[in-house]
Structure 1
Amino acid sequence: MAAKLFGGDVSEAKRFYEEVRSNDLDTQWVTYRYEGNTLELGGNGENLDDLFSKTEENFNDNDRVYAYVRFETGDEMSRRAKFAFITWIGPAVSVLKKGKVSTDKAFVKQVFVEFGKEFLCDTRSELSQSKMLKDLEKASGAAYGTGR
């Protein structure tokens, strides 16, 4: 079932997942969106602003999107990568398609297996880069230094 979601080949999704997780590569995010009943690559990039500043492009009102995102957190004493799994269900998505998202998400999580926080968003205001970063920082534990 999971293979069907990624067009019969989960290897591309796993490759992008590993790129986002890699400390040696610049990829910061990847999205997958439904084309019919199949998940297709929506996009990927090296700049979080490209993902969050273009919400209408990346998270359309008619779309269902899964995103895996790398955030840098910490302060001058300790920088670390934290990962978020975002599920977007646009406000114009039908009830039947909304229901399918929760079922399919279990299969998507078999590819995007490690993340610090999961976000379920259905309004644009929830797609806030700064809010997500703050939530990840809270979940990361103790903070040292001045916060810069």
Structure 2
Amino acid sequence: MTTSIDRDKITAAYEDVRSDNSDTEWAVFKFEDTHIFCSAKGTQFEKFREQFADDERAFGYIRLQMGDEMSKRQKFLFLTWVGPSVGVIKRAKMSTDKAMVKEIIMNFAVELQLENKNEFEIDHFREQLLRAGGANYGTGMRDA
């Protein structure tokens, strides 16, 4: 069974998340049998987190504001979700399916693979983006 992908809708969702003129902060791409499609888009992290079930495989793309008081910037994170109840065959197929999605979702600072809902924490995502971002200057004031 070959996986197919809804390129037009996934591309539109990707561009919506990346757009400075859009409030959309995230998009989720799920499987319907062997077809990958955009299943949801939104603005709140908790709603993003709710999109991933234990028996599902999915991909997520999220925009987070990073930086300090002197420099705010948007950073993007791509994630692969393989729920703990997903079978061995579907798990094994994720690498080739992910390659298809990454032909569209090309710009991100961090890529994560998650298999446990406990990993879905905004602080964890921010920490990964911060690590990938290099130097952090802040105010230049040190803690006493």
Structures share fold, TM-score greater than 0.5: yes
Unaligned runs of 5+ in 2: none
Cα offsets for 1:43-69 (capped at 9, x unmatched): 1102223213x2xxx111110010011
Larger Rg: 2
Q: Which of 43, 47, 51 pairs up with 2:48?
A: 51
Give the 3-state SS of the residue equivalent to 2:21 in structure 1. Answer: coil
> Given the alignment of the two structures, is residue 126 of structure 1 paired with residue 119 of structure 2, yes or no?
yes
1:30 maps to 27
Unaligned runs of 5+ in 1: none
2:133 maps to 140
TM-score normalized by the length of structure 1? 0.88
Superposed, 1:25-104 pairs within 5 Å as 25-52=22-49, 54=50, 58-104=51-97
Q: RMSD between aligned alpha carbons?
A: 1.7
Give the Cα–Cα distance (whole angstroms) in 2 for the partners of residues 119 and 13 of structure 1. Answer: 19
Q: Which runs of 4+ in 1 moved over 6 A?
A: none
Give the 3-state SS of the residue equivalent to 1:96 in structure 2. Answer: helix
TM-score normalized by the length of structure 2? 0.90
Which amino acid in 1 is paired with 2:95?
Answer: S
Provide the aligned length of Structure 1 versus Structure 2. Answer: 139
